[in-house]
Amino acid sequence: MRMDPKQFREYMLIYGTDILNWPEDMRTPGLKALKSSLELQAILEDEERFERVLRESRYEDPDPDLAERIISASLQKEDKRPYSVAGFFSDIFWEFGMPNRALTAVSLSLLVALILGFAIGFFYPSGAISSEQNQINLEAFLYYEGDVL
Amino acid sequence: MDVDLTHLDDTLLLQHIRQGGREAFAVLVNRYADRFYRIAYRLVSSKDDAEDIVQEAFLKLWRRPKLWDPSKGAKFNTWFYKVVINLCVDHQRKKRPLGLPQDMEMADGNPGHDVLLDDHQRQSLLDRFISDLPDRQRQALALCFYEGVSNHEAADMMGVTLKALQSSIMRAKTTLKKKVKLYFGGGSI
């Protein structure tokens, strides 16, 4: 594969001036072409100067405690998470989505027990008086009242 | 007993994080905070903003670790680069365009006189040229030139085809080269 100056320039823009970093199938033709062409060598020098200018672009290192700050913020965010109905239900389902099967089984058992408790309480309320019992109570009252009077 | 999680790969750390593993989260943050800061900085050109963006990205991950789905085939850091890049794009949309310092006027009026520009002015001009590039070109330049990410990986992170990414790099560099030659003078490059 022969490489003309236009192709060489394009590859240089795409892959950079270090030809050893070019994809394998372009590297050898690129190096060969460079060795035998003064024009390509001039293109390479021009591109290297341009890359040096680009590397002058300003860069500031992050604060050394950036990672620590993020970890601390994760603690705070968790405590101060605003309440929302969607978030509440999402949290419930997230708990059930945990891969810990034992925890999920215990949670489900407690939920079933709670539902059964409500159902029993609804159909057989302990404070309720049947109509038969009500009649007996009324008769006892009337009898008791009559006796006194 | 404390278990050393630093040797675990990203996928395993994320599994721990899904179960509320704070130590795993700390390991992941320590592993990647600086790397993601670098790309954020290249895209927003502000230390404070880049730090805030990286923090926001990690907190999103902490609150919703299931957002990253390994079954979809993306590596964690590729996916997280996307998160950071998207946050940077949102941030840039909200922000006003960069103004040029007053001491740049002379250079603007007389392009080609590189002797008039000191290092600080050259740097400011270059930053302005880069920030004037369209989003996609700036991202391609930041990932491939400044961060040394491979073209394939960068295309994946940006959600574009390889051809589109390479075209973006070429356009970005061609535009910058023209401006640098015009404003810094032919002797600079």
Q: What is the pLDDT of residues A41-75, one digit of tens each?
A: 999 999 999 999 999 888 999 999 999 999 999 98
CA distances for A68 relative to B21, B34, B80, B118, B125, angstroms: 16, 12, 19, 37, 34
Residue of A nearest to B37 (CA): A62
- For B44-60, the pLDDT digits (tens) are 999 999 999 999 999 99
Confidence of residue A149 (pLDDT cuts 50, 70, 90): very low
Look at the domain B10-94 and name its fold: Rna Polymerase Sigma Factor; Chain: A (1.10.1740)
Question: What was the pLDDT predicted at B99?
Answer: 52
pLDDT at residue B108 greater than cutoff 70: no
Residue B36: partners with Cβ closer than 8 Å, 6 or more residues away: B54, B57, B80, B81, B84
Overall CATH class of domain B102-184: mainly alpha
| Confidence label for B184 from pLDDT (cuts 50, 70 and 90) | confident
| pLDDT given for residue A95 in this prediction | 47
CA dihedral (A19, B169, B52, B14) positive or negative: negative
Compute CA A85 distance to the chain's CA centroid, rounded to the nearest angstrom.
Answer: 19
Q: Say whether pLDDT at B17 is over 50.
A: yes
Tell me whether the CATH fold assigned to B10-94 matches the one assigned to B102-184: no
Query: Looking at the complex, does the CB of residue B120 fall below 8 Å from at least one CB of chain A?
Result: no
* Domain parsing of chain B, residue ranges: 10-94, 102-184
At residue A144, the pLDDT reads 64
The three-state (H, E, C) secondary structure of B125-188, written as one string:
HHHHHHHHCCHHHHHHHHHHHHCCCCHHHHHHHHCCCHHHHHHHHHHHHHHHHHHHHHHHCCCC
Rg (CA), chain B: 20
Amino acid B46: pLDDT = 92
Instruction: Decide if pLDDT at B118 tops 90.
Output: no
pLDDT of residue B107: 46
Interface membership of B54 toward A (CB under 8 Å): yes
Which residues are CB-contacts of B154 (< 8 A; sequence separation ≥ 6)? Answer: B140, B143, B144, B165
Q: How confident is the model at residue B6 (pLDDT cuts 50, 70, 90)?
A: confident
Residue B29 with chain A: CB contacts under 8 Å: 67, 70-71
Average confidence (pLDDT) over A85-102: 59
Query: A20 versus A136: which is more confidently predicted?
Result: A20
A73 touches chain B (CB under 8 A): yes
Residues of chain A contacting B62 with CB distance shorter than 8 Å: 74, 77-78
Query: How many beta carbons lie within 10 A of that of residue B27, not counting itself?
Result: 22
Tens-digit pLDDT profile for residues A131-148: 777 777 767 766 665 555
CB of B64 within 8 Å of any CB in chain A? no
